[in-house]
Chain A
Amino acid sequence: VSAAPDMPRLARLLLRLRPLGRRRPEVEADLRDVFTARLVAHGVRYARRRFYGDVLSLWWHPLPSTEASRRSRFDRARVIDRMRHDVRDVVRGLRRNAVVSLAAILSLGFGIGAASTAFSVIDVFYFRPLPFPSPDRLVWIAEQTPHNFDGCPRCPFLTSPSTLADWAKQARSLERIAAIQGTTFRWAHGDVVESLQASGVTPQFFALLGVRPALGRGFTPDDFLTGAAAVILLSDDVWRTRLGADARVLGTRLTTEGHDVTIVGILPRDFRFRDASEVWLPLSMAGGSRSSRSLTAFGRLRQGFTLQSAAAEFTGLQAGLAATYPAAYRDWGIGVQPLRALLTSGRGKNRLTVMALTALVLLVGILNVSGLMLNRAMARRHEFALRSALGGSRWQIVRQLLVEGMAIGLAGGVVGMLLAFALLPLASVWFSIGTTALAVEPNYRLLMFGAAVALAAGASTSVGPAILTWRGELTRALGEGSSRTTGGAIGTRDALAAVQIAIALVLATTAGLLSHDFLQVRFLDLGYDPRGLYSTTLQGTAEQANNLALWHAAASAARDRVAAVVGIASASVEHRSAIHPSVVRPADASFEPSSSDTPVVKAVDPSYFQTFGTGLLAGRTFTATDDRRHFPVAMVNRAAAARFWPARDPVGRQVFVGDSPTDDESLTIVGMVEDAERGEEVERHWPVVYRPFAQAPMYLPTAFLFVRVSDVQDAGALAAVQTAIRGTGRATGPLQSEESNVDERFLPSQVNAAAFDLFAVFGLFLATIGIYASVAYGVSRREREVGIRMALGATRRSVIGSLAGRQMRWGLGGITAGLAGALALRRVLDALLLAPGGTDPWLLALSACLSAAVAFVAICLPAWRATRVDAAMTLRAE
């Protein structure tokens, strides 16, 4: 099509595929005229929508004049015409069997929806180019930790500003190099100070990614000079939600930490990098030791360089640096990876397991519809036989079956796409990628995938009946009695049902385990009571940052002020140490340090455990006298005690805490508390060492202030606390409810568990329908036999046995296979679980029994019903 800008690509492709013969040039020019006219009159959205309509209408309406000059052997137009008739026939056929058709469509739709959502996620993780220009030339450059590095030997790590500067000077393989560092921006407005998530970036950052602000300007080199006026870029979200999307904010100032920064630009709406950064600041690169690594570095490859050649160059650069500054680089390596690796690292946990399970759901759907189609084909044996006897070719019948399958597939595809649109935001949460450049959105790749899967799934459901037709099994029936069923078809159908049982069992087991796990971590004891617990952050002044006593007094004063409010049961502070000590070990020499569970050290005040409602298991809690003038003490949680002194009383023992083996501090354990860590789910049972707030060193002058209200319903107390914390002048934000924090923290696993439950229920439901339909059909063919046998005095049990025996054997096979599958999956599942202890064998057994019971009922019910029919009635009906 002669190009008019904005004409939708897909529609243009469809137009090109529509046979138009010699009329093509005029029709295309006409459509272009219409498009342009609508574009001018009604705007681009309208024009594009109507263009789709026009192109589709050309496919729908026959245009005889376009075929007049075509005399080719393969006449596409005629094929299209025939297909149109086929489709109309099929639509009528599906309407006649509305319930079965609807069941089939929904079965496929659910499977397609799940699979398409999974595809979108896989697509962004592995295939879809990152949303930046020439994304294949973007690389992530990371120093690699030494082999003895705490927690993660030989892992990608941050780099220091000085190293980055050397790289920028020396690296020839990179066109540009930039770095980013996460930080917070404390925005003071009105009488509150609000913490915004911020990113500090180097001068090349936006140019490297090819991102320009949607409004205003980006950072210029001058913005990075020492003494330059402070500037800031806002994310589109902050600009819209906090500043009313007002373009006049450009050039105005935001106040932070006593000075002003000027808003110079608003970033584009769809710009995302690695996290939900709300504001962007120039990153000061001055000074700093080469060992203080705090930057995430990445670059753009110069044309002609590959990842490998860049990696080789950087290995050389690093060796040079190590020779010049041995202390800072001893044992450190370097790695160059695609930028995608940076964005995906630590995200999308277990995505492959999830994909496998969605594939299973799709498979159950396809198998189910195959079974339904097989039943329908068998029911229509007479029609097929008649048509074949009247000279209809086998190909015609097979074609009709295929078109039917694909029609069901396409309808299922529409349902699936709607479902996928609804599921995508959940998937974003699930894989925690919603705030990154990887964010999943509906796009044409998803549509293409959905359409392809829909057609393939639809066609594959008609493969069974089509093969039987081709072999003549369905067309030979004319001369045979109606009660005789074809062996091949029955066998195929029973095997389908067995496979469905197996898959349903695997799904049910998985869902059972995940739900149980979720309930366990969510609703069982957290070790503390989040209801009525609120928190905010206290921020020290610059003066307090250098004086522990001052900071301690200021934080305590703020706490006491809040604690005095009527309706407040308790308040306490927890020192928020950005860097926790790297050496934590018991004085006993027997202890083997392991990097996988280095204890966390926290500084808390005496009322901390009371505020949290965490139970004391042994010894005492801190008191006001545990300060600088008295000997240093500590408390441990149950996990730390179990880690350091298994099965022994921790009270009275010594623990070393320090930053290096030389300046260790020896603390005496005075008490043990229940595990109650409130970090990520896994951290509830993380080993923690608590120190008195008054004795602990300070890394940063910030602390959490926790408040427990006496009465959860008491809104007045909360309002009073808000006023009180505002009065301290040190609080940095409004009170946050710990309960909603907990809910938020558990949202991904809740989504996880709910999705699996849905999968399982649906899989089980489909399998049940499939099995039931299969047996019921078989039974209905043998009603006469049942009647005779019952009349001759056969017991109901023996009749059921003979009617359902084969399916029962198949079902048992399915259950065995499913159990084997579930056991094999167990190892994978263990990694998915959050609660400690791994999969519960009893739960496995329970899920298996449940699936077996459902299958058993589905098999026996139709047989049992057949035996309830009055034998005399059946015989008389003959």
Chain B
Amino acid sequence: MKGSRLGEFEEFTLLAVRALKDATYAVPVQAFVERTAGRAVTMGAVYAALDRLEAKGFVRSVLGDPTPQRGGKRKRLYEITPAGMRTLRELRRVRDRIWMTIEEGGRS
């Protein structure tokens, strides 16, 4: 496994959980990643990524209350943990630094 590091798809998934705010579930996450990344994403991949993120402690999940729309079936609701948030920020800082270097290099 990748330890506390994130693969590209995991990063997208984690970002989606953050972007969709609190208490989202697998279906909107799939739709979000598919829409923003512009490529077909299977539910299996989303479940696997959420599973791994949860194992790494970046998201946590609870079973929601049954809703009549789903025939009484519960949703598994995900939210990002502080650790997950820290990792995302860290990744972004690294990228920003790299881009800054590139753009300065471009100007000079």
Contacts and interface: CB of A to CB of B under 8 A. Distances in A.
**Interface SS of chain A: helix, strand, loop or mixed?**
helix
Contacts of B30: 34
Interface string B14-55: 000000000001110011000000001011110110010011
A34 B40 contact: no
Interface in A44-95: 50, 53-65
A166 interface: no
**Interface SS of chain B: helix, strand, loop or mixed?**
helix
Interface in B44-87: 44-45, 47-48, 51, 54-55, 63, 70-71, 73-76
Contact of B27 (A2, A30, A56, A65): A30
Interface in A207-238: none
B1 to A, nearest CB: 10
A56 B71 contact: no
Contact of A59 (B25, B44, B75): B44
Contact of B43 (A23, A25, A58, A64): A58
A53 B27 contact: no
A63 B27 contact: no
Contact of B45 (A25, A50, A61): A61
B48 A54 contact: no
Interface residues of A, number: 27
A27 to B, nearest CB: 7
Nearest to A57: B44
Given A30-B25, A30-B27, A33-B27, A63 B73 contact: no
Contacts, number: 66
B79 to A, nearest CB: 16
A783 interface: no
B76 A23 contact: yes
Contacts of A63: 44, 47-48, 51
B24 to A, nearest CB: 12
Contacts of A61: 44-45, 47-48
A618 interface: no
A26 B75 contact: yes
Q: Which of B40, B54, B70: most chain A Cβ within 10 A? A: B70
Contacts of B25: 30
Q: Which of B31, B44, B55: most chain A Cβ within 10 A? A: B44
A7 to B, nearest CB: 14
Contacts of A58: 43-44, 47
Contacts of B42: 53-54, 56-57
A33 B51 contact: no
Interface in A18-39: 23, 25-34, 37
Contacts of B54: 65
B44 A56 contact: yes
A91 to B, nearest CB: 19
A50 B44 CA distance: 12
Contacts of B40: 50, 53
Nearest to A51: B43
A54 B42 CA distance: 5
B75 to A, nearest CB: 6
A23 B48 CA distance: 13
Given A26-B73, A33-B70, 10 more contacts: A26-B76, A27-B47, A29-B70, A30-B75, A31-B43, A50-B40, A56-B44, A57-B45, A63-B47, A64-B51
Interface of B: 25-27, 30-31, 40, 42-45, 47-48, 51, 54-55, 63, 70-71, 73-76
11 contacts: A28-B73, A34-B31, A34-B43, A37-B31, A53-B40, A61-B45, A63-B44, A63-B48, A63-B51, A64-B51, A65-B51
Closest 5 CB pairs of A and B: A57-B44, A57-B42, A29-B73, A61-B48, A54-B43
